[in-house]
Amino acid sequence: MSKKNPIVLVSSYYPRLCGIATFCEEAREFIKKANPEREVLVISHTDGSGKGVYPIIDTANRFWWKPVAEKIKRLEPYVVHIEHEYGLYEHIDDRGIGDRNQGFIEFLGSINEFPIVVEPHTVHGRLKNFEENFIYQLCEDSDIVLFKSQYQKWRLNWTFTQIKWQMPKNIMIVPHGARVDKNWSETEIPKLKEELGLNKIKHLSNNLVGLVGWIQSNKRWDILTSMWEEIVKEIKVKTGENWDLLAAGTMRDENHLDDYNHYKKSLEILENKGVAHYHEFIPRGDIYYKVMAVCNFIVLPTVDETQSGTLARIISLNKPYVTTAPLEGLTAQTLESEGGLLFTDRKMLKEKVIRLACDKDLRKELSENLKKYLNEVVSWEIIAKKYKKAYILARLQKIKGEEINLPPDF
């Protein structure tokens, strides 16, 4: 293989309204910067588009991976870097039964002459039986597997030890990347509010708590909205300040329509009382950062998922935040960064929101912690270098047969 062979990413991709698609688009930008001598191409699902993008993944076909493997062989990649989420590669048959990503494992076997790096975005602490089998096979058939957090690796070590399985030695920790170029000073916030049209909302305070992102059932905006009136009254008593709730985003999945309507109705009631505002927008690109930037801090009351995409933007903006615990990647990065407060029940959520609103020094401290964490741990420039290291290890394993040995910390 020549040095000019391309890096090939396999993933969902823009314009799909999908967190992995957005992630891949951003990751591609920084992988290219770190590897300027190579093309960075994308093989996506059929709804992907753009220069250097090949939209050929169609999981309606049981053997969706065959044309993908053929395309990869024609491209002769330097490395194949795959973004994985179970739903992206699940084939559903005529009975409505999924293959539990068996086709994905077959896909890995079909391209095993090339260095393979797989980045799974969902690795739960407590795995179901099929997940145990899948991750074991994934590690067997890949050269390098990228987990987001150390806890995922040591937890897997415990899980595999208990069932007498060998712990894979090819798991490398690479956190979700975050941008360092999306920040605005306090003097620029009024201009952002004007750009977003928020300056036209007469009742809207300069002190804003944000609920920002895709509106889904598991995001549980209703937990905060149901107690928001009590919260603003207590803040007013303690500080004399007026605070408002800025809820911003939109729905992307019709299955969440009932909860979406419920959340919006709650916000309309609060808006009529002059203590909140709902701002509809698609959470992608610059506007995602701008909406977050006008908030003093963010609340993430999710009850499922790692929320790494939303959290990455919070980290980029150095925004203090309040989020749910214990919840996998959210909790791990909150502890590692020391940039947010955790809650486990309604009472704690209320207390933490009031505490952050009333303590400007605490907000500043958390913000500084996030800035340090961004610059030293999770900036895309650092993550792209980790990817580059993973590519080298994968090539040494595949081409020279050099054994990879990345033991767990615990």
Res 254: pLDDT: 87
User: Which pLDDT score, from 0 to 100, does residue 304 have?
Assistant: 79
Cα 117 to chain center, whole Å? 18
Calculate helix-pair angle for 346-358, 360-373, nearest 10 degrees: 100
Asked whether the predicted pLDDT for residue 247 surpasses 50, the reply is: yes
Give the chain's domains with CATH numbers: 7-177+379-400 (3.40.50.2000), 186-377 (3.40.50.2000)
Q: Per-residue pLDDT for 333 more than 70?
A: yes
- For residues 328-352, give the mean pLDDT: 95
Please, is 306 exposed, middle or buried when counting C-beta atoms within 10 Å of its C-beta (0-12, 13-18, 19+)? buried
* pLDDT tier at 303, thresholds 50, 70, 90: confident
| pTM score | 0.95
Q: Which pLDDT band, with edges at 50, 70 and 90, does 410 fall under? A: confident
* Mean pLDDT, rounded, of the chain: 95
pLDDT of residue 1: 44
Q: What is the pLDDT of residues 181-199, one digit of tens each?
A: 998 999 999 999 999 999 9
Tens-digit pLDDT profile for residues 16-49: 988 899 999 999 999 999 999 999 999 999 999 9
Polymer length in residues for the chain? 410
Could you read off the pLDDT of 103-142 as tens digits, one per residue?
A: 999 999 999 999 999 999 999 988 999 999 999 999 999 9
pLDDT of residue 409: 81
Question: What percentage of the chain has pLDDT greater than the value 90?
Answer: 89
Q: 385-401: per-residue pLDDT in tens?
A: 999 999 999 999 999 99
pLDDT, tens digit (0-9, with 9 covering 90-100), for 189-230? 999 999 999 999 989 999 999 999 998 888 899 999 999 999
- Asked whether the predicted pLDDT for residue 370 surpasses 70, the reply is yes
